[in-house]
Structure 1
Amino acid sequence: MSEPLTLGLLALASFSAAAISASVSVGGGYVLFGATTLLYPLPVAVALQPVLSYSSLVARSIAFRQGIAWPIVGPFTLGSLAGVALGLVVYHAIPERVMALGVGSLMLVLTWWRLPLPHVHSRAGMAGVGMAHALSGTVLGMGSILQPVLLNAAIDRRALVGTFAACLLALEAIRAVGYGLTGFSYWPLAAAVAVSTMAGFAGTWAGKRLMGYIPERAFRLIVSGLITALAVRLLVKAVLPGIDSFLPSS
């Protein structure tokens, strides 16, 4: 795939993901990560996720700043430090096929099964959530804990969007620095980061204005179907690596 086409598809994915996250609260990150796995090798897609999503997180944190629940954000960030440190060790140790199996499985679980987590909104509980979310995010590209915890937090939709973005701001910065310090180079992908950043800001602007106008149930079904297709692709490549030549290449 040519670089201009790759950058164009990445811009479309970044814009769509940011708009989804700003308008329907969750799902955008899965769309962006799933699309990135189509454009780059999986270990690269995992390391790129924090920098590609950062512009959208900044924009959402600013746009929904009045609703941010800071007592959740602080302990979550502290727990993230330990989670990233452990996750980096695992990330550099596991083969790509194992990573593909883990990512594909996690995408399906997060899409179709809401984790039955109890209320864990004490400071200690949120630190534990931060550690677990950061660990899975660093190894597999996506966290799996924070979303269901916030859905159980009895906060409104705008507060959910703002708090989720604020929690991930520090985490994604820590992840990106960690990948860089342990050998991953972002410089050859500077154009991709720049394109995604601009598209992310534009998508957040559009998504905030769409909030309340989109039938959430129907939209989430469409997003879930797309994520499922991307997850199945990863699982097939993990279990049947010889089929790579028949599937879209990373």
Structure 2
Amino acid sequence: MLELLSPLSAGVNLALVLLSVVTSALSAAAGIGGGTLLIIAMAQVMPATALIPMHGMVQLGSNGGRAVMTWRHVRRDIVVAFLPGVIVGALVAAWLLIRLPYGVLELCIAAFVLYSCWGPGLPQRAVGRTGTVIAGALTTLLSSFVGASGPMVASFIKLGMSERLPRVATFATCMTFQHATKAFIFGFAGFVFRDWLGLMLVMIVAGFVGTWLGLRLLNRVTDHRFDFFFKWVLTLLALRLIWLGVERLGAG
């Protein structure tokens, strides 16, 4: 039955479904990180042509569920300012989107993850209506090419609020709108969602389960301890992805 979900093997399909539970719980409990961990793990086993659209649709379900469960805490002023930038970024991405050479996507994702972990943060002046629109446009465009723009969106949202629950709720809502644009972008580019629909739907359901679990762990995770271990997990996975990308470039 599991082998019918996608062109991947039954074992890989099962691993991705379980990973969807874990990463959704991680994002709900810590406010960030699940989407980045998911895409860098998916990149180890999925073809590059399916990676970004699959990740986008799964994250749409995961973030949408989190946004619904925490809607009372959403900062609507930030979401309203973020949305026009998302639309602009999606239109530009649909116009620019090309098929990258085999191996390049993996290297781009790895570089972005390493920068997210160890690069400088956003300046305080990024907060404001103009900064929010620009952030929405740039991160949506970036998300269409490297998938996981979550760390940049989360860094931006973190500047505007200190309480974790409003951060989680607002981040989830902004990411829901951003990932929703990928159905348009990749449908326009010719991606056949039907071939991956089974795995996509099961991972989305698994993401709802993970979100429910993670929200119950929300106040039990300390920021400092989470940040330390999570950065090193992502760094090791990014280095593995660089190796894989170089191998694929060589083979191509």
Residue 156 of structure 2 is matched in structure 1 by: 149
Q: 1:222 to 1:102 in 2, by over 3 A?
A: same
Alpha-carbon displacement from aligned partner over 1:44-97 (angstroms, at most 9, x marks no partner): 111211111122212211222121111111121111112122223443143233
Higher mean Cα deviation, 211-220 or 20-29? 211-220
Query: Match of 1:119, SS?
Result: helix
Task: Tell me how large the CA RMSD over aligned residues is.
Answer: 2.0
Q: 1:123 to 1:140 in 2, by over 3 A?
A: same
Residue 59 of structure 1 is matched in structure 2 by: 65
Contact 1:119-1:152 at 8 Å conserved across structures = no
Tell me how far apart the structure 1 counterparts of residues 48 and 236 of structure 2 sit (CA, whole Å).
Answer: 16
Structure 2 residue corresponding to 1:223, chosen from 225, 230, 244: 230
Contact 2:44-2:244 at 8 Å conserved across structures = no
Tell me how far apart the structure 2 counterparts of residues 91 and 98 of structure 1 sit (CA, whole Å).
Answer: 14
Structure 1 residue corresponding to 2:204, chosen from 197, 201, 204: 197
Residue 178 of structure 1 is matched in structure 2 by: 185
Structure 2 stretches lacking a partner, 5+ long: none
Tell me how far apart the structure 1 counterparts of residues 66 and 120 of structure 2 sit (CA, whole Å).
Answer: 24
Paired amino acid for 1:191: G
Where does 1:1-250 land on structure 2 (aligned, <5 Å)? 3-143=9-149, 145-241=152-248
Paired amino acid for 2:125: H
Higher mean Cα deviation, 47-56 or 214-223? 214-223
Q: 1:25 to 1:146 in 2, by over 3 A?
A: same
Q: When the two structures are superposed, what TM-score results if normalisation uses the length of structure 2?
A: 0.89
Q: 1:119 to 1:67 in 2, by over 3 A?
A: farther
How far residue 218 of structure 1 moved from its aligned partner, in angstroms, is 2.4
Tell me how far apart the structure 2 counterparts of residues 37 and 19 of structure 1 sit (CA, whole Å).
Answer: 20
Paired amino acid for 1:63: M
Alpha-carbon displacement from aligned partner over 1:210-244 (angstroms, at most 9, x marks no partner): 11123332233332222112211222233344777
* Identity in percent: 23
Query: Match of 2:191, SS?
Result: coil
Q: 1:163 to 1:30 in 2, by over 3 A?
A: same
Q: 1:147 to 1:215 in 2, by over 3 A?
A: closer
Tell me how far apart the structure 1 counterparts of residues 97 and 236 of structure 2 sit (CA, whole Å).
Answer: 24
Moved beyond 6 Å, runs of 4+: none
Higher mean Cα deviation, 11-20 or 111-120? 111-120
Q: 1:180 to 1:242 in 2, by over 3 A?
A: closer
Contact 2:29-2:219 at 8 Å conserved across structures = yes
Number of residues of Structure 1 aligned to a counterpart in Structure 2 = 244
Tell me how far apart the structure 2 counterparts of residues 239 and 42 of structure 1 sit (CA, whole Å).
Answer: 14
Contact 1:10-1:195 at 8 Å conserved across structures = no
Alpha-carbon displacement from aligned partner over 1:99-156 (angstroms, at most 9, x marks no partner): 2221110011112234232333322221111000001100111215322111111341
Structure 1 stretches lacking a partner, 5+ long: 245-250
Higher mean Cα deviation, 141-150 or 24-33? 141-150
